[in-house]
């Protein structure tokens, strides 16, 4: 029976693919984007008079904080408690401990023990039903001292105002994300990641919005907004709009992804600038890790963003008083909220701070890629229906799909599926479980052991097809691989579809690399070439390319050697994120995407 691939349909599929990629790249073109606007009526315009006066005093407090931090060699809990109490807040502390599954080489920690300190400014006349959070991390060395100073300065200023309708919680968290996770879990009485923390003594009602402040210099040249949170979740666009509106009003330079907005969208360089900004956002969202302390709030449906002060080589500097005024304005507007931010978009991409692309505009790009899988699946279904089974069953005629009443048929399909998924489970569990054994036998550190075990299992999967066929009795049939491919295509389509709904960037990037191989791999394509392409487009290599592209876009290109080391650290960070905060990227890749890719690899080597 003829099953040559129809040349016409190949060109259709290629057109679909190119259309999808072109649509995606076209999203950054300014006429196709919309200007951002404030959707929430209650927040209205930026019509508020900011009067925060005490920037210098905030800096002095920051210096005091730095001195005490150095003296104590960690978080100066007593000093913070005393300072917050003197400003009229209700102060509480929370201690937490956490043992990481293996040492984190980026941040050099393994057994983490810390304390969060937070003070609650009670609303003078309102019931304690709602709260806003302002947080600053307590980092090592000379980082973020000014942030804590400004936080304390704002606390003192806010205390003297009577127009607060929500409680304001000023939080200083230790060990950045780990501390924040402990605080949030304590606040919401959940424990999803198995940390150990003391319960919170004081609470402030349901949190409506949160801002995390990172400020490491006395003067800044621009403010960077960080939106991407855990699992690629984004805060409501109104929060970004609010920030942008105030930046415009006060006259502070604002950036997103560290890139300044440009006006020349009709030139090539202008377009590429917007495309780079959007690609950075896509890559950051796809990684599924929280890119600021705010990233963990989003899971609790609290709109949060991080504001980072950047001091680069520009002439015009902004002082702390102005930053304080900007934050004051934002908090006054958030104070006017009557319900959680929900009027604007939750799913969007931003090629620049004043332009956005909503889900309705970017989803067709993914749809065009997914349709290739569905068309291929339909094609296979028709082929399976048309060609008579005639071989094993001996049943004549009839339009029947032999979903195999004959045992070799079923077994030859089920076996690859089961084995692929078991390999996926091995990839998910073994690296962490076997790190001790690996450390004993090989001269590597625990982190390296984990990462290298993962890569080893990944590569070992490549040898599977040759081995499983030795186990099976009967030979695989023509029909067998078709059915397996049909299953694999549908499985991949559902998987990528669900991923794209939750985290569009991750779904799109995986689709870009997996859809071509899923569509065109058959046992009859030239083996060596197809094998090479499959390996080059496998999820692991996609991750490698993404690392290089990300470094390029950040304007810090790396050499191959450094890129490889970065790749290894990305894998370890992914595993840690999953263990510490519940990021879903590593389980998705190990348990679902990798087995799917293995199924396709099996089809390639089908005998």
* Binding site residues, another protein, CB under 8 A: 41-42, 44-45, 47-49, 123-126, 161-165, 332-333, 335-336, 338, 378, 381, 385, 398-401
CB of 167 to another protein, least distance (A): 11
Residue 572 corresponds to which tokens in the numbers above? 């370890």
CB of 332 to another protein, least distance (A): 6
Give the Cα separation of 548 and 557 in Å (integer). 7
* Choice between 39 and 193, CB closer to another protein: 39
**Closest by CA position to 510, among listed 593, 421, 427, 592:** 593
- The angle subtended at Cα 523 by Cα 522 and Cα 528, nearest 5°, is 100
* Choice between 98 and 122, CB closer to another protein: 122
**Closest by CA position to 427, among listed 530, 571, 529, 566:** 571
CB of 48 to another protein, least distance (A): 5
| Residue 194, phi then psi, degrees to nearest 5 | 75, 30
Q: Tell me the DSSP string of 401-444.
A: ----SSHHHHHHHHHHHHHHHHHHHHHHHHHHHTHHHHHHHSS-
* Choice between 199 and 398, CB closer to another protein: 398
Cβ atoms of 149 and 217 closer than 8 Å:
no
CB of 335 to another protein, least distance (A): 6
* Choice between 43 and 178, CB closer to another protein: 43
Residue 266 corresponds to which tokens in the numbers above? 């009709």
CB of 85 to another protein, least distance (A): 24
Question: DSSP 3-state assignment of 298?
Answer: helix
* Choice between 9 and 429, CB closer to another protein: 9
* Choice between 401 and 498, CB closer to another protein: 401
| Residue 606, phi then psi, degrees to nearest 5 | -70, 135
Q: Tell me the DSSP string of 153-181.
A: HHHHHHHT-S---SEEEEEEEETHHHHHH
Question: DSSP 3-state assignment of 544?
Answer: helix
* Choice between 381 and 545, CB closer to another protein: 381
Residue 227 corresponds to which tokens in the numbers above? 């939106």
CB of 591 to another protein, least distance (A): 30
CB of 395 to another protein, least distance (A): 13
| Owner of token pair 């840690």 | 576
CB of 336 to another protein, least distance (A): 6
* Choice between 374 and 502, CB closer to another protein: 374
- The angle subtended at Cα 71 by Cα 66 and Cα 77, nearest 5°, is 75
| Residue 61, phi then psi, degrees to nearest 5 | -60, -40
CB of 3 to another protein, least distance (A): 17
CB of 35 to another protein, least distance (A): 20
**Closest by CA position to 174, among listed 118, 120, 216, 223:** 118
* Choice between 47 and 396, CB closer to another protein: 47
CB of 189 to another protein, least distance (A): 27
Residue 401 corresponds to which tokens in the numbers above? 């799909």
List the beta strands (DSSP E) in 33-190: 34-35, 90-104, 109-121, 130-138, 167-174
* Choice between 126 and 430, CB closer to another protein: 126
CB of 383 to another protein, least distance (A): 12
Question: DSSP 3-state assignment of 20?
Answer: helix
* Choice between 60 and 338, CB closer to another protein: 338
- DSSP helix, strand, coil percent of the chain (3-state; round to 5): 55, 15, 30
* Choice between 124 and 390, CB closer to another protein: 124
Give the Cα separation of 436 and 105 in Å (integer). 17
Residue 246 corresponds to which tokens in the numbers above? 């105030």
């Amino acid at each position: 029976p003829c099953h040559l691939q129809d040349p016409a349909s190949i060109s259709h599929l290629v057109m679909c693919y190119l259309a999808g990629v072109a649509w995606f790249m076209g999203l950054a073109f300014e006429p196709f984007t919309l200007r951002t606007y404030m959707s929430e009526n209650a927040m209205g315009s930026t019509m508020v008079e900011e009067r925060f006066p005490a920037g210098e005093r905030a800096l002095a407090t920051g210096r005091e904080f730095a001195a005490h931090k150095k003296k104590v060699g960690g978080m100066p809990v007593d000093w913070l408690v005393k300072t917050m109490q003197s400003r009229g807040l209700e102060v509480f502390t929370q201690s937490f401990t956490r043992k990481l599954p293996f040492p984190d080489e980026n941040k050099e920690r393994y057994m983490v023990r810390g304390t969060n300190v937070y003070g609650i400014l009670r609303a003078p006349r309102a019931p304690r039903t709602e709260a806003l959070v302002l947080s600053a991390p307590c980092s090592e060395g000379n980082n973020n001292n000014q942030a804590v100073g400004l936080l304390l300065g704002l606390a003192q200023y806010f205390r003297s105002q009577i127009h607060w309708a929500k409680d304001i919680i000023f939080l200083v968290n230790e060990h950045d994300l780990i501390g924040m996770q402990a605080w949030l879990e304590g606040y919401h009485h959940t424990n999803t990641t198995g940390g150990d923390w003391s319960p919170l003594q004081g609470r402030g009602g349901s949190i409506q919005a949160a801002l995390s402040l990172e400020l490491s210099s006395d003067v800044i040249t621009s403010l960077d907004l960080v939106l991407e949170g855990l699992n690629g979740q984004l805060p409501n666009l109104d929060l970004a709009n609010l920030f942008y509106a105030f930046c415009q009003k006060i006259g502070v330079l604002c950036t997103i992804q560290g890139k300044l907005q440009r006006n020349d969208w009709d030139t090539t360089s202008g377009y590429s600038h917007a495309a780079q900004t959007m690609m950075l956002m896509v890559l950051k969202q796809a990684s599924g890790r929280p890119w600021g302390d705010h990233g963990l709030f989003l899971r609790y449906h609290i709109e949060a963003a991080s504001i980072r002060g950047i001091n680069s080589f520009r002439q015009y500097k902004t002082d702390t008083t102005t930053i304080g005024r900007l934050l004051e304005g934002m908090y006054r507007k958030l104070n006017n909220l009557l319900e959680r931010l929900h009027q604007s978009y939750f799913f969007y991409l931003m090629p620049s701070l004043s332009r956005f692309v909503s889900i309705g505009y970017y989803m067709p790009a993914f749809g065009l890629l997914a349709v290739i899988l569905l068309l291929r699946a339909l094609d296979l279904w028709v082929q399976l229906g048309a060609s008579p089974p005639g071989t094993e069953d001996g049943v004549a005629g009839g339009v029947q799909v032999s979903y195999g009443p004959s045992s070799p048929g079923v077994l030859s399909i089920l076996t690859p599926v089961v084995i692929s998924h078991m390999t996926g489970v091995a990839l998910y569990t073994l690296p962490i479980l076997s790190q001790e054994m690996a450390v004993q036998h090989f001269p590597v550190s625990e982190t390296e052991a984990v990462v290298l075990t993962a890569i080893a299992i990944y590569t070992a999967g490549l040898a599977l097809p040759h081995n499983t066929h030795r186990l099976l009795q009967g030979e695989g049939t023509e029909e067998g691989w078709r059915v397996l491919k049909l299953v694999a295509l549908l499985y991949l389509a559902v998987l990528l579809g669900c991923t794209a709904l939750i985290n569009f960037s991750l779904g799109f990037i995986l689709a870009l690399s997996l859809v071509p191989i899923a569509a065109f791999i058959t046992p009859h394509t030239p083996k060596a070439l197809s094998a090479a392409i499959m390996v080059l487009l496998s999820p692991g290599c996609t991750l490698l390319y993404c690392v290089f592209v990300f470094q390029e876009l950040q304007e810090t290109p790396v050499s191959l050697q450094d890129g490889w080391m970065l790749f290894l650290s990305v894998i370890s960070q992914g595993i840690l994120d999953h263990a510490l905060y519940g990021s879903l990227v590593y389980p998705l890749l190990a348990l679902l995407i990798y087995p799917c890719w293995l199924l396709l690899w099996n089809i390639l080597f089908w005998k």
